[in-house]
């Protein structure tokens, strides 16, 4: 599947859907930290609407791969194309604008701003693009409502449960209708119940057409939410297979 094969776009509930397009194309990616190669010739392609899970032992390079795709770090060699843009050719400001437009990120430890209530944490992503506060809050409230935590909109992160915090983080990630949602151990800091809720949420999003890349240790998360599993070890992709989603 290539960018020339775009057959159309559509809009789901708060999610931009781009079908039949290679959203991510990683080629011969290397990343070295001193003498250590965190990534050693990784190539990967993710199509629009795909849900890909990357698994592997700690230190295998899966988070490094995610950071490269998000434009948070730069490769030592190789290339990363996201939505047709070569990230290696974009400067820092360009990468920030790229993340704003194309990427939504979910982290293991949520990374919410402690001083802002849930709704303002979500609205923040839109406000950075210049969206007026009122408009940004309206959209944030819609998202919180869709994710079932609208009644917690004025609560500060410290008073939210783990699952609620991660839902706020997901809402924030979806705020600018990203082409690609990146999730780094999204259930790693949650109890099993909250983890289930987040898994359901991600599954729903993907079913609505949201392209998803998960980095996880959690086999259940991978098999529940992903349609493809990529395994890594020592900075290389060691396997790739299609998954049958479990209920």
Residues near other proteins (CB under 8 A): 63-64, 67, 70, 72-73, 92-93, 96-97, 99-101, 103-105, 107-109, 111-117, 120, 123-125, 127-130, 132-134, 137, 156-158, 172-173, 175-176, 184
* DSSP 8-state symbol, 20: S
Closest CA to 44 of 219, 173, 211: 211
Give the residue with the Cβ less far from other proteins, 6 or 124.
124
Give the residue with the Cβ less far from other proteins, 134 or 241.
134
Give the residue with the Cβ less far from other proteins, 21 or 108.
108
CB of 93 to other proteins, least distance (A): 5
Give the residue with the Cβ less far from other proteins, 24 or 203.
24
Q: What does the alpha-carbon distance between residue 218 and residue 77 come to, in Å, rounded to a whole number?
A: 30
CB of 226 to other proteins, least distance (A): 21
CA–CA distance from 220 to each of 84, 109, 196, 223, 226 (Å)? 32, 19, 9, 5, 10
CB of 228 to other proteins, least distance (A): 24
Give the residue with the Cβ less far from other proteins, 107 or 233.
107
Pair of tokens at residue 167? 């839902």
CB of 227 to other proteins, least distance (A): 25
**Is the CB of residue 180 less than 8 Å from the CB of residue 69?**
yes
CB of 203 to other proteins, least distance (A): 23
Written as one string, the DSSP assignment of 119-131 is: HHHHHHHHHTTT-
Give the residue with the Cβ less far from other proteins, 155 or 208.
155
Give the residue with the Cβ less far from other proteins, 72 or 77.
72
**Is the CB of residue 2 less than 8 Å from the CB of residue 45?**
no
CB of 165 to other proteins, least distance (A): 8
Residue with tokens 């094969």: 5
Pair of tokens at residue 202? 């991600």
Task: Give, for 27, the enclosing helix (H) or strand (E).
Answer: strand 22-33
CB of 134 to other proteins, least distance (A): 7
φ, ψ of residue 43 to 5 degrees: the values are -130, 135
Q: What does the alpha-carbon distance between residue 205 and residue 210 come to, in Å, rounded to a whole number?
A: 6
Region for 179 from its dihedrals, namely left if φ exceeds 0, alpha if ψ lies in -120 to 50, beta otherwise: alpha
């Amino acid at each position: 599947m290539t960018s020339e094969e775009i057959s159309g776009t559509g809009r789901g509930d708060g999610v931009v859907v781009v079908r039949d397009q290679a959203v991510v194309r990683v080629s011969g990616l290397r990343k070295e930290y001193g003498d250590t190669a965190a990534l050693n010739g990784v190539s990967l392609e993710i199509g629009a609407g795909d849900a890909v899970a990357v698994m592997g032992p700690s230190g295998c390079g899966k988070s490094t791969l995610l950071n490269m795709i998000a434009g948070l770090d730069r490769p030592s060699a190789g290339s990363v194309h996201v939505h047709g843009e070569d990230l290696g050719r974009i400067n820092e400001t360009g990468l920030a604008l790229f993340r704003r437009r194309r990427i939504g990120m979910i982290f293991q430890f949520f990374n919410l701003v402690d001083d802002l209530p849930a709704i303002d944490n979500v609205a923040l992503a839109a406000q950075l693009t210049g969206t007026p506060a009122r408009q940004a809050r309206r959209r944030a409230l819609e998202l919180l409502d869709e994710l079932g935590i609208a009644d917690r909109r004025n609560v500060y992160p410290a008073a939210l449960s783990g699952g609620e915090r991660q839902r706020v983080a997901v809402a924030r990630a979806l705020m600018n209708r990203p082409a690609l949602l990146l999730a780094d151990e999204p259930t790693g800091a949650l109890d099993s119940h909250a983890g289930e809720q987040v898994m359901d949420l991600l599954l729903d999003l993907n079913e609505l057409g949201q392209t998803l890349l998960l980095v996880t240790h959690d086999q259940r998360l991978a098999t529940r939410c992903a349609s493809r599993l990529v395994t890594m070890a020592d900075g290389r992709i060691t396997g790739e297979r299609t998954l049958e989603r479990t209920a």
